């Protein structure tokens, strides 16, 4: 039969030589390779204790952003939801009441905001669609869980820590991303 590729190699069926039949030399050869690896650079790290830096284009768990005064950026415009190819994002909008100006930046805000992490494919289109710099993909993984219902992330999980009440965690969550300039 004609070979489909030129990478074909025939299996040799000839009987083993005496050297090969001795068995031990081959064992020592293999052991030497194993031994030599002790002195080579380790390609792995001890994961939970040590972590690798993320690539600047890494797309991880979503975060809902706040502005420098701690007000939520999201106005529930629905552009992330309409851009989402996996239809993972849902929200309910509400009107800001007098006295809530320190909580929400615009007169409309997302009263409920949910991302179904079972559906999310981390494509980053929500971040791209957002006109308010309200959602971006952070440098964290979605943690594993035993129950499906734990993967419906709501605002309490997605919101970034308050920049004034919790400045250290806010900075950590913000990561090393350059902040998108908002169109005004």
Partner 1 sequence: MLLCGLCMKQNNMADEIKTFKVTIDNITIDVAPGTTILNAARKIGGDVTPPAMCYYSKLEGSGGKCRTCLVEVAAGSTADPRPMPKLVASCRTTVMDGMVVKNMTSEKVTDARNGVVEFLLINHPLDCPICDQAGECHLQDLGYEHGKEGTRYKFARRTFVKEDIGPYIQLHMTRCILCYRCTYVADQITDKRIHGVVDRGDHAAISTYISKAISNDFSGNMIDVCPVGALTDKTFRFKNRVWFTKPVDAHRNCENPKCCGKATLWLRGDEVFRVTARKDEWGEVQSFDGKTGWICNTCRFDKKKTSDWTIDGLTTISRHSVIGTNKYKTLTVPEETVQKVMHGLNPKLIMDIHSVSEVNNQDIHLSNLNRPAQAADFSKSGQHASVSRETNPGVKQLKDEK
Under rule CB under 8 A, residue 77 binds partner 1: yes
Find the part of the chain contacting partner 1 (CB under 8 A) among 2-10, 18-26, 29-37, 139-147.
139-147
Distance of CA 25 to the CA centre of its chain: 48
Specify the residue, 97 or 121, whose C-beta has the smaller distance to partner 1: 97
Under rule CB under 8 A, residue 183 binds partner 1: yes
Q: Tell me the C-alpha to C-alpha distance, in Å, between residue 86 and each of 4, 44, 91, 179.
A: 39, 33, 15, 26
Name residues whose C-beta falls within 8 Å of residue 160's C-beta, 6 or more positions apart in sequence: 63, 64, 65, 66, 170, 173, 174
Tokens of 110: 């997302």
Interface pick for partner 1 out of 65, 72, 81, 135 (rule CB under 8 A) = 81
Minimum distance of partner 1 from residue 57's CB (angstroms): 19
CA separation for the pair 17, 153 (Å, rounded): 65
Minimum distance of partner 1 from residue 73's CB (angstroms): 10
Under rule CB under 8 A, residue 140 binds partner 1: yes
Under rule CB under 8 A, residue 101 binds partner 1: no
């Amino acid at each position: 039969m004609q070979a489909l590729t030129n990478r074909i190699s025939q299996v040799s069926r000839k009987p083993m030589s005496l050297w090969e039949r001795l068995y031990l030399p081959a064992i020592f050869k293999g052991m030497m390779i194993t031994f030599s690896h002790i002195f080579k650079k380790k390609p792995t790290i001890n994961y939970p204790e040590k972590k690798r830096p993320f690539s600047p284009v890494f797309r991880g768990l979503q975060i809902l952003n706040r502005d420098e005064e701690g007000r939520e950026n999201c106005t529930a415009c629905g552009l992330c939801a309409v851009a989402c190819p996996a239809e993972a994002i849902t929200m309910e909008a509400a009107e800001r009441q007098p006295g809530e100006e320190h909580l929400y930046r615009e007169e409309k805000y997302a009263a409920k905001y949910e991302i179904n992490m079972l559906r999310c494919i981390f494509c980053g289109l929500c971040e791209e669609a957002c006109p308010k710099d309200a959602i971006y993909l952070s440098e964290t993984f979605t943690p594993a869980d035993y129950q499906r219902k734990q993967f419906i992330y709501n605002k309490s999980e997605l919101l970034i820590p308050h920049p004034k009440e919790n400045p250290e965690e806010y900075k950590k969550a913000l990561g090393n991303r350059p902040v998108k300039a908002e169109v005004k």
